[in-house]
Each structure stands twice: as C-alpha cells, then as structure tokens.
C-alpha cells in the first residue's frame, strides 16, 4: 500500500492498524470462493488489502474522494464505487454478481441507518460482517425485558440471525475511539415476513416510542381497534418477543388498520 492519507473527523474515520485483528475480521467472513463480497467504508484500505487478495468478486464502496484516490493508486485493479452507502443500489450490485456478502467498519454516527438500509435489501444479501460500537451490537442481540431491547433488536432479529463474534479494543485503531467496538455478523437466512416491512416498522417504532407505557396506550397513535382477545396489551413494548410483533402487525393488516 502507498502512504496512507489523513483521516477526516467529519466522517467518523477510525482506521484499523493491528495486523492480527485485520486478519481475524477478514477470516470471520462466511463468503466462499467466487461469491460476491462488498466492503463498505474501506477508508485507507487496511482491511481492503486482505479482502482484495482473497476474493476475486470484490468491490469497495467509499464516499471520501481522497480515500478513493488512495485505494485506486494502491490497488489499481480494485473495483471502487465512490458513493454514499445510504444511496447504494444493492439490486444493481446483486445483478452484477449474485447475492452479496457485506463487510465493513461502520462509522458510529450512521451505524443504525446503514443497518436498516441493509435490512431493507436483505433479499439481495447473504451476510453482513460489521464492526460497530459495542453498545449498538449489544442492542441488536438483546432479549426482551432488558434495557437494551428495542427497535433495533426487534427488526434485526426478525430479518436476520445476528451474532456478536468478538470485541475490538480501541488501541487497534488510529485514532483510538473512546469506546469498545464489536464485530457482529448478520446472516440473512430468515423466511419472508408475514407482514410488510413498512407496517412492521410503524408498529414497532410506535410501541417503543413510549416504552414505559402499556401497549394499549403506546399504540394509540395507530388509531386501531387492538385485538385484545389475541394479544396482551397490558404489557410494555419490551415484553414482546420479535415474533409477536410480526404476528401483531400481520393481524392489524388483516383488520385494515393501515388503510
């Protein structure tokens, strides 16, 4: 690799510098030879270098023009897409090489947005191996009746099989972040939901927006006659398993709640 360019604080860039951790993250990828691999936010290419040499069907998506130039200079044959990850057309990428395995070190300030974007395109993806703030990773795998359990937990667990693989300490980054990170893997192996994504999102977010209240009160903004004979609306939002949110949303669709 050529001399590494300077980082931009505005993009939340924290770059890996520990060789053994880089190898560990790359080695946790479930992609097989020949499968499509896309790295999001490669930055100065510490992880990219390893992935590029291992996967032939490999692309990287980067928004920072300085980093894009650096990657193209360092790895001239690398397929680099200069783009905002939140505006990525996953259908187009899938059409170019089949179902995708995603990997990336996510900027902390848009982690949730990236996650929801991936979940929306999950039919085109096989897995996502993502490094993020440990606190966010713990929210993703949280179980009901815990403080960490919420919107991110319900939607991610209904739409994928998430697992925290290992923690990543601050000292392996430059500059070191002020928090512990974790690598989490999402496998997109769940069947299609019995309700639409949009309606599920509406129900879950409405419930958790007032998570201290009983569901009978927190769900009032839906303007629906809640099927109290089928569900216990005396519970709070955090008491319902993800599957119950899917079941409730599907029932509300049948009742014509969403028009």
- What CATH number did the domain enclosing 32 receive? 3.40.50.150
pLDDT of residue 174: 82
**Does any domain span residue 166?**
yes
CB 43 within 8 Å of CB 66: no
CATH of the domain at 249: 1.10.8.100
Containing 129, the helix (H) or strand (E) segment is: strand 125-133
The string of DSSP letters for 194-239 reads: SS-HHHHHHHHHHHHHTTTSBHHHHTGGG-----TTTS-TTSBGGG
**Burial call 52-87: b when 16+ CB within 10 Å, e when fewer:** beebebbbbbbbbeebbebbeebbeebebbeeebee
Q: Is residue 181 part of a domain?
A: yes
Low-confidence ranges of the chain (pLDDT < 70): 1-13
d(CA 112, CA 245): 20
In the chain, the number of structural domains is 2
Distance CA(76)–CA(73), nearest Å, equals 6
What per-residue confidence (pLDDT) applies to 144? Answer: 98
Phi and psi at 188, nearest 5°, equal -90, 75
Q: State the pLDDT at residue 146.
A: 97
Asked if 17 and 84 sit in the same domain, the reply is yes
Q: Give yes or no: residues 28 and 99 share one domain.
A: yes
How many helices (DSSP H) and strands (DSSP E) are in the chain?
Answer: 10, 9
Asked whether residue 125 is assigned to any structural domain, the reply reads yes
For residue 9, what pLDDT is reported? 45
Residue 259 included in any domain: no
Residue 163 shares a structural domain with residue 228 = no
* Residues 120 and 209 occupy one common structural domain: no
Tokens of 155: 């939607």
pLDDT at 6: 53
Q: Residues 141, 225: one domain?
A: no
pLDDT at residue 54, rounded to an integer = 93
Instruction: Say if residue 182 is in the same domain as residue 207.
Output: no
Question: Do 120 and 201 fall into the same domain?
Answer: no
- CA 159, CA 249: separation in Å to the nearest integer? 14
Segment holding 16, helix H or strand E: strand 15-16
Ranges of H-type helices in 55-168: 65-74, 90-95, 111-120, 134-140, 151-159
Task: Measure the CA–CA gap between 8 and 5, rounded to whole angstroms.
Answer: 10
Alpha carbon distances (Å) from 194 to 46, 160, 254, 258: 41, 15, 11, 15
Give the bridge partners for 102, in sequence order: 38, 128
The residue segments making up the domain with residue 235 are 197-254
């Amino acid at each position: 690799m050529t001399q590494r360019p300077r980082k931009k604080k505005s993009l939340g860039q924290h770059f890996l510098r520990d060789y053994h951790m880089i190898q560990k993250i790359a080695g946790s990828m479930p992609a097989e030879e020949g499968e499509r691999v896309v790295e999001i936010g490669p930055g100065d290419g510490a992880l990219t270098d390893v992935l590029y040499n291992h996967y032939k069907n490999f692309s990287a998506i980067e928004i920072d023009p300085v980093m894009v130039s650096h990657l193209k200079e360092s790895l001239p044959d690398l397929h680099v897409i200069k783009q905002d990850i939140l505006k990525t057309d996953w259908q187009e990428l899938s059409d170019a090489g089949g179902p995708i395995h995603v990997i990336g070190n996510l900027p902390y300030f848009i982690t949730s947005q990236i996650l929801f974007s991936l979940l929306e395109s999950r039919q085109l993806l096989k897995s996502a191996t993502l490094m993020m703030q440990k606190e966010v990773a713990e929210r993703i795998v949280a179980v009901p009746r815990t403080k960490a359990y919420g919107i991110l937990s319900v939607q991610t667990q209904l739409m994928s099989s998430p697992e925290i693989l290992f923690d990543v300490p601050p000292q392996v980054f430059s500059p070191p972040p002020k928090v512990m990170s974790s690598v989490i893997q999402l496998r997109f192996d769940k069947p299609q939901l019995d309700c639409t994504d949009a309606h599920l999102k509406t129900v879950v977010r409405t419930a958790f927006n007032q998570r201290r209240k009983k569901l009978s009160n927190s769900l009032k903004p839906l303007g629906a006659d809640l099927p109290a004979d089928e569900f216990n609306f005396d519970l709070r939002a955090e008491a319902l398993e993800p599957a119950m949110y899917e079941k409730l949303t599907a029932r509300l669709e049948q009742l014509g709640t969403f028009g």
